[in-house]
Amino acid sequence: MAERFGRLLRSLKETYGWSAIRSMPAQDLIVLLTRSSRSDEDHVAVDAFGPWIQLGLLDLLSAPPRQRQGHWRKLSADLGSPAAVLEASAQRMDRVLALSRADRRDLPTPAAVAADHSPSAPAGRIMPLLIGAGVLGMAAGLALTIQIGRYRQEVIRQQQASREQKAELDRVKRQLSQRDQAAGRSGSESPRRSLAPEALPTPALPEGAPDPPVPEPSPSPTRASGEPEIPRWSGCEPVAAGSGASPQPGDLWWPVVGPLTSLEAVRRHCRADAFRNRDGNTQVASFRDRSAATAFADQLSADPQHPYTFYVGESTRYD
């Protein structure tokens, strides 16, 4: 875990420079580390070593090995951990960070800064320190502002996509409700059929699917003469053999899934080739287009003949 955390620090060091990272406030640095994490292990490492950063981990790593004794005692007492454990973790971070001799120079201590501002200190030594501190502060603030701005833009895009999807779903539901009301007023006695709006035709259900289907149950016996026909759910009209497109390598498929308890009902009233997928859910069909999968799932869930809810699952790339 120490080596993984060291790799995260090294990535920031290569982007912003060690001096800029060391001069950042601890909380801002933790935010940058969290944003640069790409896996659950990275997040665990940031959570584990976040307190170390707040208690002076960067000062310890920046100090030459011969000057770390005081840092060890302070960090060990603050964390309540043995110094040997802390030293072993810091050595692993050292190997990954590979700090140069220039990176290990100590930052000015408060006593040194006060001495530089004394009347005896030359004016030429004060200005470079002020200019350097200002440049580092501006660089750190600019980097943090860029990261926060990107994060806010991503959140706004996701919220806008969610609002558009909800508005489209509400529009489809209103159209279906209006057609049902019109059919009721006409007094027609024909069997009730759920029609999709013209803007969203009933999607074709492909034969192929990313997940390997389980063996299908044997077909039920032929319905005897006079026996009532099994009612089908909305949008579950059978697809002729061969009408579905065969999956190609690199295709991205979106499955329409529901609870496992609906498997037998789906096979009886909708799709005889429905199967239990690897996540333990009932997979009804798969689509290359996410919008087509969403329309089919919404139409299937809106049918009053059953109590189940269907939705679009995680996509799968066909290899």
pLDDT tops 70 at residue 19: yes
DSSP state of 277: -
Q: Is residue 64 part of a domain?
A: yes
At residue 313, the pLDDT reads 93
Distance CA 59, CA 55 (A): 9
**Can you read off the two tokens belonging to residue 300?**
């299937």
Lowest mean pLDDT among 34-38, 104-108, 235-239, 284-288: 104-108
7: alpha, beta or left? (left if phi > 0; alpha if psi -120 to 50): alpha
- Beta-carbon-side half-sphere exposure of residue 92 (alpha carbons within 13 Å): 13
Q: What are phi and psi of 207, to 5 degrees?
A: -70, -40
Q: Is residue 65 part of a domain?
A: yes
**Structural domain range at position 306:** 252-317
Contact 196, 295 (CB under 8 A): yes
Reported as a pLDDT band with limits 50, 70 and 90, residue 237 is low
Lowest mean pLDDT among 49-53, 128-132, 230-234, 249-253: 128-132
Q: Is residue 177 part of a domain?
A: no
pLDDT in tens, 173-225: 888 888 888 887 765 554 455 444 455 455 444 444 455 454 444 344 344 44
For residues 134 and 304, the model is more confident at 304
pLDDT in tens, 96-145: 777 777 776 644 444 443 444 444 445 555 766 777 777 777 777 788 88
Q: Is residue 230 part of a domain?
A: no
pTM above 0.75, yes or no: no
Contact 57, 49 (CB under 8 A): yes
Lowest mean pLDDT among 4-13, 64-73, 111-120: 111-120
Contact 248, 298 (CB under 8 A): no
**Can you read off the two tokens belonging to residue 208?**
């192929």
Of 111, 129, 154, which residue is a domain's last?
154
Q: Is residue 202 part of a domain?
A: no
pLDDT tops 60 at residue 151: yes
pLDDT tops 70 at residue 311: yes
Distances in Å between the Cα of 194 and the Cα atoms of 80, 265, 305 are 67, 18, 11
Q: Is residue 139 part of a domain?
A: yes
The DSSP result for 229-280, as a single string, is: PPPPPTT-PPPPTT-SPPP-TT-EEEEEEE-GGGHHHHHHHT-TT-EE-TTS
Of 115, 130, 154, which residue is a domain's last?
154
Do 256 and 133 sit in the same domain of this protein?
no
Contact 194, 305 (CB under 8 A): no
Q: Is residue 23 part of a domain?
A: yes
Reported as a pLDDT band with limits 50, 70 and 90, residue 290 is very high
Nearest residue to 50 via CA among 23, 24, 78, 29:
29
pLDDT tops 90 at residue 298: yes
Distances in Å between the Cα of 220 and the Cα atoms of 114, 179, 272, 296 are 91, 34, 10, 26
Distance CA 296, CA 293 (A): 5
Count of domains observed in the chain: 2
Name the maximum alpha-carbon separation found in the chain.
Answer: 112
Contact 37, 8 (CB under 8 A): yes
Q: Is residue 240 part of a domain?
A: no
Do 147 and 264 sit in the same domain of this protein?
no
pLDDT tops 90 at residue 297: yes
Do 15 and 122 sit in the same domain of this protein?
yes
Do 132 and 22 sit in the same domain of this protein?
yes
pLDDT tops 80 at residue 85: no
DSSP state of 285: E
